[in-house]
Each structure stands twice: as C-alpha cells, then as structure tokens.
A and B are shown apart, each in its own frame.
Chain A
Amino acid sequence: MINVLATIKIIVKTLIFPGAFFAMAAGLLLAGIDRKVLARMQKRIGPPVMQPTYDFFKLMGKETIVPHAANRRVYMAAPVVGFVSLAVMMLFIPIGGWCAFTGDADLIVILYLLTIPAVALIVGGSASGSPFAGIGISREMVTMMSYELPLIIVFLAVAKKVGGDQLFFGFRAITNWQIANGPMIAQLAMIPAALAMLLIIPAEVGTQPFDVAEAETEICEGPLIEYSGAPLGLFKLNTAVKMLVMTSLFTALFLGGITSGIHTGITLWGIAIVDHILRALIHVAISAVITVVSMTTIHAATARLKIEHLFKFYWTAVTGLALISLILVWIGF
C-alpha cells in the first residue's frame, strides 16, 4: 500500500510537478515573456505571451516529413530524448527550497544532463543528412565546449563556498547554506560567478548573440533545417524548457531559499499544496526576471556573433569571471 502511494507520488512528480507538465507550461510562458519584452524593447507591440504555446500546438498539427537521407529512428527520437532529460533536470533543481529528488551530487548530475539536449540537437541534425545541418552541428559542438568550461568553474565555486574545506554538490546543502547565510549573490566573492552564469544562460538556451548554431538567416536554422511538424515542435519546446531550467538553476545557485519562508499552514492529504503553488509561482516570476535580464536585454542590444568570437568570448571573459570567483572563494573570501 505504501509502495503504491510512493509510486503514485513519483509519477506525479515526474509527469506533473515539477516534471514534464510544469516544465512545459512554465517554459512556454517564459519564452512568451521573452518574445513580448523583446518586442517592446524594439518598440513593437509584439506577439501575445501565449505565442510560443500557439507555435507548439500548431507544429503538433503539421505534417511530419522525414527526408530520404535521414535515419528515421534517430531522427524522431532525438527531440524526445532532449525533452526527457530537461524534464528530469527539473526534478533535481529545487523550487522554493523543495526538490523532488535530492542527493549529494545534484550538480554533477545536472552537468551531465545539461549536455543531453545539445547532444540531442547534434544527433538529430546529423541524422537529417543535410549539409546545412552539418555546419550547424559543428557550431553547436563548439558552442557547447565554450560554455561548459565556465559553467563547471561556476559550479566548483559554489560548491567550495558552501562546503568550506570540501566540495558540496548537493542542492540540499546549497539551499540550507543560503537559508542560513543569505542568498549566494549577496556574497562579494560570488558576484563574478553570478555574472558569468548570467552570460552562460543565453548560450545554453541559444538566443540571439549566441545562436550561431541555429542562425536562420545564414544556415537556415542549422540542425533543425529538415525538421517539421511534431519533432520540430518538441525542439522548440526544448528551447523554451531550457530557459526555465537554466533560470531555475541560477535561482537555486545564487538566490536559493528566498521563498522557503512562505508557510501558510494549509495542507491537503498531508502535502502543503498552497505553499508549493505559491513558491512555484514566485519561482516562475523570478525566472521571468532572470530571462529578461540575461536573455532579452542582451538579445535586443546585440547582433549574432561569429563562432570564433563566441568561443573566444567564453574562454576569456566568462571563464575569467568564473575563475575570479573560484580563486576568491579558495583564498577564503
């Protein structure tokens, strides 16, 4: 009996909150906010906030064409694999101090899971057999290499700050430390790391200055060139969910525990549902603010970089920022 209840709980966590459904809804909402605010920054009215949702549903109803040159199974599986890994990632990232699954090495798991959507894009693109996709995936690989290095250093800095003498990679430890000592971003030593993280988010998601891999005007959307219908919709959904995942990750690392003070005391079936809903709403609101700051503003003010400039930027400026934090933490600030 207890086993059945636990299984139901796990299924609900994976499929509804904070897994697939919540990730989908919140991700599409964030993507909509991004597009709306971007339009306003360009002095336009812009699409409705629901626009990415419309796009997604429309693509679900379109004909799916698989090119002759493509490997059908890999081609169709790639976007699903990407989405599943993103949904799983949401289970590890704390929302308002609470996460579905927790362990001692969450950050390491997330680091590995984060590469999967990008790898799915690369695999799907190469399975489509288009030469444009070939250029796109080589660019995607370079982009991945560029932002992985500073991301690891940021994770190390946070783990060192929390752990003191040793490295703590668990989100429970990170959140508890922040509840005790105030948000990570308030620490002087962590400000460069937070800046680096803000600059990593657009590259990970693939928005304007760092969307070299999907440059629709020069290489016809790169890896996505042959995709149509439902798989394309899933890839677009992946981009939207990546926004939620990356902003949630930022919240967990640097603004953790802000919402953990909310206690209404109302419980249903032994779960504090109202608390969870409130915290999730605040979490999405914070995510929206981070989206606007890190993605939309940069998008509005810049043009697309060349791939070598992107690589240089991440391995010098951003890695430098992250390293400053790591060194400061290491010497005890």
Chain B
Amino acid sequence: MIPFLKVALTNLFSKPSTVKYPYVPVEAKPRYRGRIAYDGDKCVNCGMCVKVCSPGAINRIYKDTEDGQDITYEFDHTSCTFCGMCQDFCDEGAITLTTDYHMVATDPEDLIVRGVCHKVNPKGNISCNTDLCVYCTLCAKKCPSGAITVDRAAKTWTVNIGKCTKCGACIKTCPKKAVYFAEPKPQVVVCGDDCVYCTLCAKKCPEEAITVDRAAKTWSFDASKCVQCGKCVAACPKKTLSFADGE
C-alpha cells in the first residue's frame, strides 16, 4: 500500500497524462485504416474488392447510360471490418483506407461512402469510308495522338490502332462524315503456344472466367464471364495471353 500511496501523491502534484481530445485534435497513426475513400475515375470495375471483402460490405449498383454504364460503389462502414483487403487488391489504386476515424453517425446513411465509376462501352476501331473521303487531312490534324496519317497525293488513309485512344475527335471534325467507329467485335482472351499452365491468370481473374488444368494441360476461357479487365494479360509471366477479336 505504501508504494501505491507514494505514486498517488506524486501524481497529485504532477501533470495529468490525459489527452485533451475533443479540444485538441488527435491524428491517427499514418497506416491507420479508417474511412474508405473511393476514386471512381481510377476504378476499372474489375470487382476484385467485392470478391475479397469478407463481411460483404461493398455493393455495386449498375445503371445504364448513353455510352455505357454508371456503376455506383457503396462501401458500408457499418459492416466493414477495416481489414484493408480491398485496398491491397485494387491494382488501380482506386480504394484507399484513410486515417479519418471520426465515423460517428446518428443516421446510418452517413456511414456509407458512395462513388460512381463510369464505364464506356467498348468501341470498335476507327475506320474511314474511302468512298466518301476526300483526303482533306483534317482528321490527321485534329488527332491528339497522331494516330492517323493521310497522304493526299497517294490518296491513302491509315490509322495506327496502337496509338488511337478512341476519343472520337476525328469523327467530329470530318467534313464528309466518312470517319466512323467500326462495329465493336467481341474481345476475347486467347492463349498462345508458350503457355506453361501456371494458373496465374486463373488466380488473378476476378470473375473466374479462366480455368486452367495443370495436369491435363488445358486452358479454357468463358467469354460470357469476362469483364475485359486485362488482369490475366498483365499477370501472364510468359506474355502469351492477349486480347483478340472474335468469338
């Protein structure tokens, strides 16, 4: 009892160790996982976050728009475990768990973070109807990435598909309305001859569209499940996966 008395009396004449919290703001430590911040511009709607979220706190609402879809992501903080898996699995860096810990609400709606990801329907490649084209070179001049080359003398019109960003500036500027987006062809993932059946692509696929059987050395792809996020192509160690037009 005597040592405790000593501590009590020394405490009485020393400064209290209390943090004067509501009057003095307190910052959380740098890696604290608090309120989720979602950046819809970066998101590619791969759905990996929804898949890894163990309490099922992420919800997607789809809404069709003129040129694609608006996908509203709802992060429900009354359901979240703040494990940070969605952040870790988001390759695009669209999800971050901020250090904001002030998640107190009288209305549960305040605890839901919403963000809209806009997905444009895939467009076909730029092409030119040479029957209408007068080779005025306006489209080439307007192209922001310099993907179009027009030779007035030789009367040729070529487009570099690799450079084209499908912005549509050439279509708007064409006086003859000759430039257009060709009908999109369904994109599929194809596997080349170098495949070693490592299953990495299957593991990375958020929609389980790829199945690889290591023993039987088969690689199969389900086009109906694919969302064309490109994760498998990026993950392939042999660089043998690629997008292709077709069924």
Contacts and interface: CB of A to CB of B under 8 A. Distances in A.
Is chain B found bound to chain A in the same assembly? yes
A45 B12 CA distance: 10
Given A301-B1, A302-B1, A40 B18 contact: no
A43 B17 contact: yes
A45 B1 contact: no
A302 B2 CA distance: 10
B1 A43 contact: no
B8 interface: yes
A300 B4 contact: yes
A68 interface: no
Interface string A272-298: 000000000000000000000000010
Nearest to B20: A45
B26 interface: no
Contacts, number: 36
A45 B5 contact: no
Nearest to A41: B8
A40 B7 CA distance: 11
A73 interface: no
B220 interface: no
A41 B9 contact: yes
Given A45-B16, A45-B18, A40 B11 contact: yes
A42 interface: yes
A24 interface: no
Contacts of A302: 1, 4
Interface residues on B, range: 10 to 19
A28 interface: no
Which of A43, A44, A45, A46 has its CB near the most chain B CB atoms (within 10 A)? A43
B16 A300 contact: no
A168 to B, nearest CB: 36
Contacts of A43: 11, 14, 16-18
Interface string A29-49: 000000001011111111000
B1 A41 contact: no
B16 to A, nearest CB: 5
A301 B3 CA distance: 8
Find the residue from B8, B16, B17 having the highest chain A CB count within 10 A: B8
A325 to B, nearest CB: 23
B187 to A, nearest CB: 65
Interface in B1-37: 1, 4-5, 7-9, 11-12, 14, 16-18, 20
Contact of A40 (B1, B4, B16, B20): B16
A165 B168 CA distance: 118
B16 A297 contact: no
A186 B9 CA distance: 25
A297 B4 CA distance: 10
Contacts of A46: 16
B49 to A, nearest CB: 42
Contacts of A37: 12
A45 B18 CA distance: 7
B5 A40 contact: no
A297 B2 CA distance: 11
Given A297-B5, A301-B5, A302-B4, A41 B18 contact: no
A44 B4 CA distance: 16
B18 A300 contact: no
Contacts of A44: 16-18
Contacts of B12: 37, 40-41
27 contacts: A37-B12, A39-B16, A40-B12, A41-B9, A41-B11, A41-B12, A42-B8, A42-B11, A43-B11, A43-B14, A43-B16, A43-B18, A44-B16, A44-B17, A44-B18, A45-B18, A46-B16, A297-B5, A297-B8, A297-B9, A300-B4, A300-B8, A301-B1, A301-B5, A301-B7, A301-B8, A302-B4
Interface of A: 37, 39-46, 297, 300-302
Given A41-B8, A41-B12, A301-B1, 11 more contacts: A39-B16, A40-B11, A42-B11, A44-B17, A44-B18, A45-B16, A46-B16, A297-B8, A297-B9, A301-B5, A302-B4
